[in-house]
């Protein structure tokens, strides 16, 4: 693939980075990324990935834009209240970069549709706010051999990590279940809508997720696979905690019991 004159201009600040160059930009233009959730995390992820020239971006979200979302979900605008989030986000991305392909899915990710959806993409971004979907993404991506860049938020804090133990060449790297074996019992961990979230904290973690997506797609720098980044916005500190594959993990351990999507364990 040869870059056009317009692409040389649009991506000039990438191309001048010797670690990126034409080769890196062409890799981004050839990449397909699916973002699960067009909310607080998905907003900066989607906007930066579109701006960066990811060739195909899928957006899956079954929700509609609500006035109370706008405090942090910056991909949506006041005029989009009431619109499906997948459509509203796709319209914003088209304004940022009309030269890429954006595919909105106005549906919920389920054990029934996850395999067909993931098959269309190289990398999955987890921008969800519920544990059932988080475990579904982890399990389905591992079984399909896809990388996941995962983010989570609560109040003034955020977390980020990457899973790619199912990807050829990365076997032995841990998954979400190695970190947190099973989902917490329902209603024991509050969601943003109950506990609150400082809007810009979503921007911090989502922007870091976008950074890791670009690095994973170009094979640059240190991976966050096997590393959990914990951001505390109050103390303004970042901690990086290493974790390993668990031999007893039901998904990626030595004797896995989760061998198909749908057997997602207690959710
Ligand atoms: Zn595991």
Tell me, what's the pLDDT at 265? 45
Tokens 């899928």, residue? 58
pLDDT at 256 exceeding the cut of 60: yes
> How far, in Å, is the centroid of ligand 1 from the Cα of 192?
26
pLDDT in tens, 114-124: 999 999 999 99
Residue 242 pLDDT greater than 80, yes or no: yes
Whole-model pTM: value is: 0.96
**What is the predicted pLDDT for the residue at 17?**
98
CA of 184 to the centre of ligand 1 (A): 16
C-alpha triplet 157, 129, 116: angle, nearest 5°? 135
Cα 245 to ligand 1 centre (Å): 6
Alpha-carbon distances of 43 from 21, 181, 203, 225, rounded to whole Å = 26, 28, 8, 23
Question: Could you read off the pLDDT of 140-168 as tens digits, one per residue?
Answer: 999 999 999 999 998 999 999 999 999 99
> Quick one: pLDDT at residue 263?
53
Domains and CATH numbers, the chain: 31-242 (3.40.50.720)
Answer yes or no: is pLDDT of 231 > 50: yes
Ligand 1 centroid to Cα of residue 119, in Å, is 21
In the chain, the largest separation of any two C-alpha atoms, in whole Å, equals 54
Mean pLDDT of the residues in the chain: 95
At 61-120, the pLDDT tens digits run 999 999 999 999 999 999 999 999 999 999 999 999 999 999 999 999 999 999 999 999
- In the reported structure, the alpha carbon of residue 228 is separated from the centroid of ligand 1 by a whole-number distance in angstroms of 14
145 C-alpha to ligand 1 centroid (Å): 13
- Mean pLDDT to the nearest integer, 3-17: 97
Q: How confident is the model at residue 266 (pLDDT cuts 50, 70, 90)?
A: very low
Supply 232's token pair.
């505390």
- Judged on CB neighbours under 10 Å (0-12, 13-18, 19+), 218 is buried
Q: How far is the CA of 242 from the centre of ligand 1 (A)?
A: 14
Which of the four pLDDT bands, split at 50, 70 and 90, describes residue 264?
A: very low
User: What DSSP line would sit under 90-120, residue for residue?
Assistant: HHHHHHH-TTSEEEEE-S---TTTHHHHHHT
pLDDT for residue 182: 84
């Amino acid at each position: 693939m040869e870059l056009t004159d317009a692409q040389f201009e649009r991506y000039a600040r990438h191309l001048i980075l010797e670690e990126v160059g034409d080769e890196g930009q062409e890799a981004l233009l050839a990449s397909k990324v699916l973002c699960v959730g067009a909310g607080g995390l998905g907003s900066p992820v989607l906007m930066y990935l579109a701006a960066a020239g990811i060739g195909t971006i899928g957006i899956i979200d079954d929700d509609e834009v609500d006035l109370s979302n706008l405090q942090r979900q910056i991909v949506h605008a006041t005029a989009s209240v009431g619109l499906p989030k997948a459509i509203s986000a796709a319209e914003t991305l088209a304004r940022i970069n009309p030269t890429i392909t954006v595919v909105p899915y106005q549906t919920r990710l389920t054990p029934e549709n996850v395999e067909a959806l993931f098959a269309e993409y190289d990398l999955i971004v987890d921008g969800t706010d519920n544990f059932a979907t988080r475990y579904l993404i982890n399990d389905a991506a591992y079984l399909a051999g896809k990388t996941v860049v995962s983010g989570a938020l609560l109040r003034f804090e955020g977390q980020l990590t990457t899973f790619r133990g199912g990807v050829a060449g990365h076997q032995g790297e841990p998954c979400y279940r190695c970190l947190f074996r099973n989902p917490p019992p329902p209603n024991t961990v509050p969601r943003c809508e109950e506990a609150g979230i400082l809007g810009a904290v979503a921007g911090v973690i989502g922007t870091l997720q976008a950074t890791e997506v670009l690095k994973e797609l170009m094979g640059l720098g240190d991976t966050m696979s096997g590393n959990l980044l914990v951001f505390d916005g109050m103390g303004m500190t970042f901690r990086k905690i290493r974790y390993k594959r668990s031999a007893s993990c039901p998904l990626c351990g030595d004797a896995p019991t989760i061998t198909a999507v749908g057997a997602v364990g207690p959710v």
